[in-house]
Amino acid sequence: MKEILSKIAEVDYYVRWYSSQHDLGIWPSRQVGGSSDFETISDYVLGDSLRSINWSATARTGGQRILKNTRLTEANLAVFLVVDLSRSMDFGTVRVTKRRLAAEISAILAHAAWRCGDRVGFIAYGSDVEIQWPLRNPKDYRLLIPQKVLETRADGSTGQGLARALLKLPAKRSLVFLISDFQEDPEGIEGALKSAAVLHDVVLIVIWDPREKILPERRCIASLRDLETGRSRAIWLGGATKKAAFQKRAEAREQRLKALFQAHSMDALWIHQETDYVREISKLFLARRKFN
């Protein structure tokens, strides 16, 4: 935990500004009055309040376009950390396990939200929802969330853990960071993300290990254990054909997931143990700020 806390201090600068620029702290509102400030004039969309229509600007278009006032209102956004605790997260061949990497990233994101006064919620899942903490704004969440990620061992059997976890999100639009290795069936992942993408702003952080894509160079007979099922099996690791086929399957799965995420307009980061994730997270936030 001491090393994780030291990483929090290093990345505070890189992620703190995001909370004041994109949805955290200030977000678009169509309500007029209160503490809102005028931002811009935009097109009226069916379902928007009639009181937001700017009739003077609309008249200048000759009625061809109906324009409305868009305002900004100060309000704290709900930030949720949804973390995969399945047994496959205990795999790791470089520096740390995927679980430890998820704990480090969780601590960084929780700290960034806390520094900006935004409420943080935490949901952890395996084959089912293991932990569900309500939205709060305590300083302790920065320590408790990574600690729970490291300590909690979830059931490794297959199930609908991701779908059940996302169903625990509130009905109000939230910024959701989903941290997982996404080793579930792609069809199940798509079904779980589809409904969440409609309401929430979901950022996907895919944790992976280099050995999940490339076999060792040396030929050998290795005894491998499936962390999800607990079954062990001796496998011959050798031959260019077998290595190429293994890598091809891994790349095909990755491309399928990327296409799925893109289809639902979700930002995704692919991070392994040697990735400079501080830099990658900062780059993503900066790109989202420029886009918006």
CB 75 within 8 A of CB 29: yes
- Residue ranges of domains in the chain: 2-22+76-212+267-291, 27-74
pTM given for the model? 0.75
Measured CA to CA, the distance from residue 237 to residue 233 in angstroms comes to: 12
**CATH no. for 2-22+76-212+267-291:** 3.40.50.410
pLDDT in tens, the chain (292 residues): 667 666 665 554 334 333 444 444 444 444 444 445 555 787 887 767 788 888 888 888 888 888 887 765 445 678 899 999 998 899 988 889 999 999 999 998 888 888 777 889 999 999 889 999 998 876 778 889 999 999 998 875 556 889 999 999 998 888 899 999 998 888 889 989 998 988 888 999 999 998 888 777 777 777 777 776 778 888 777 778 878 888 898 899 999 999 999 998 898 999 998 888 888 888 887 776 654 5
b/e 4-35 (16+ beta carbons within 10 angstroms → b): beebbeebeebbebbbeebbbbbbebbeeeee
